[in-house]
């Protein structure tokens, strides 16, 4: 499906603020795709669609996961906001015919996972560093500078910041984030 149609569908699903964020992610994803050798249009499409399920209500989430057999783990049960990645991946597979890599980029943009593809890394980083994002939980300028130099170092930095924040706020940390971080550290 062409980008403009995807963008229109995403705009219909999201608030103005969330849509502006999604536009920023698409823009940052293209910037990173140029640097890291990924197809720019693929990155742009995954970027605009990454939060398509972000503003679903708890009831809508419950209904969707039941009707579409989405597997939910113990942490996601306690933090259903994490499920927008899995639901979004299912939506883009069915409605936009996204490739498996594009689906995975959306599926794992909140937690990361072990052995992420370059596109998955780009969407994860673009989500946290796009131009409209404010650095409330971490040094966003440092993350932006790192993002154009070394994608893996950026991921480690962002995951460290996320883990530290969740520890400070006594919140749950998804094991996929720990696995992703560890696999990057082993690789480096």
- Provide the domain count of the chain: 1
Contact in structure between 143 and 157 (CB atoms under 8 Å): yes
**Which pLDDT tens digits describe the chain residue by residue (188 residues)?**
899 999 999 999 999 999 999 999 999 999 999 999 999 999 999 999 999 999 999 999 999 999 999 999 999 999 999 999 999 999 999 999 999 999 999 999 999 999 999 999 999 999 999 999 887 778 899 999 999 999 999 999 999 999 999 999 999 999 999 999 999 999 88
Burial of 135 (0-12, 13-18, 19+ CB in 10 A): middle
| Cβ neighbours of 65 (radius 10 Å) | 18
Using only C-alpha atoms, the chain has a radius of gyration, in whole angstroms, of: 15
CATH code of the domain covering residue 120: 1.10.3210.10
| CA nearest to 166, candidates 111, 116, 121 | 111
| Domain of 19, in residue numbers | 3-187
pTM: 0.96
């Amino acid at each position: 499906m062409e980008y403009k149609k995807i963008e229109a569908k995403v705009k219909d699903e999201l608030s103005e603020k969330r849509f502006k964020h999604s536009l920023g992610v698409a823009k940052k994803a293209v910037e990173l795709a140029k640097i890291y050798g990924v197809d720019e249009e693929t990155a742009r499409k995954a970027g605009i669609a990454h939060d398509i399920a972000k503003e679903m209500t708890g009831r809508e989430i419950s209904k969707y996961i039941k009707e579409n057999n989405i597997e939910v783990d113990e942490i996601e049960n306690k933090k259903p906001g994490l499920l927008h990645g899995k639901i979004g991946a299912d939506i883009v597979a069915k409605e936009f015919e996204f490739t498996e890599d594009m689906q995975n980029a959306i599926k794992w943009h909140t937690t990361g996972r072990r052995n992420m593809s370059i596109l998955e890394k780009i969407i994860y980083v673009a989500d946290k560093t796009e131009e409209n994002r404010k650095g409330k939980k971490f040094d966003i300028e440092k993350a932006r500078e790192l993002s154009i130099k070394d994608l893996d170092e950026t991921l480690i930095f962002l995951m460290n910041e996320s883990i530290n924040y969740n520890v400070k706020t006594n919140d749950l940390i998804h094991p996929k984030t720990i696995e992703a971080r560890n696999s990057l550290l082993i690789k480096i």
